[in-house]
Amino acid sequence: MDKLVEADDFDPDELTLPAAPPPGAAPGLLLRVLGLNRSCWKCGRGTTCIVGLYPARPARGYCGLFTTENARTMTLAVGLLERHGLTDLTAPVRLRYSETMRARYLANGCQHCDALQGNFPLQEEAFARVAADGGPDGLNALLIAECPALAWQEVVHDTGGGVIAV
């Protein structure tokens, strides 16, 4: 991978990921699905929002908290939660229209009134908690689950943004 990136003609959008983990690599890893509890801007009631993914046991020097403002990250987080029966957390996540962005995107909603909990305010709040608490422990671990390594690599190598350096 390092040799590919160093090449003059490297284009991250043309990156082809392997169809199977390399020999000797684990087929999966444990991921923390992270969330934050907040008051809904509309009804004022407490709601839990899905905000990111982070390895349960990161390698030394690992520093990327992948946020759910990226659709691929949100899709993987929702899939992991649903696989473990946590549909109460995933039910308010759906394609929503944002007047601010003038676009539809996969986003959290309030668990009570279904109001859009916008990506920008959520990610600002998540970033503030991560910065204040020195890392991903500033967020709530909603689930620790086994994830296929290839699904995680799709998130890691997605060039659509949504990463907080921790």
User: What are the boundaries of each domain within the chain?
Assistant: 28-165
Which of 31, 106, 114, 42 lies closest to 71, judged by CA?
A: 106
Q: At what angle do helices 71-83 and 149-156 cross, to 10 degrees?
A: 150
Strands (E) in 8-162, as ranges, are 28-39, 46-55, 64-67, 94-98, 103-109, 116-117, 140-148
Least confident of 1-15, 34-48, 72-86: 1-15
Q: Give the whole-angstrom CA distance, residue 97 versus residue 118.
A: 10
What value does the CA radius of gyration of the chain take, rounded to a whole number of Å?
A: 17
Confidence of residue 158 (pLDDT cuts 50, 70, 90): confident
Per-residue pLDDT at 98: 86
pTM: 0.86
Between 6 and 100, where is the model more confident?
Answer: 100
Structure tokens at 164: 């907080």
Structure tokens at 100: 């601010």
Which residue reads 């890691």 in tokens? 156
Phi-psi bin for 93: left (phi > 0), alpha (psi -120 to 50), beta? Answer: beta
Least confident of 1-10, 38-47, 60-69, 107-116: 1-10
13 pLDDT higher than 70? no
23 pLDDT higher than 80? no
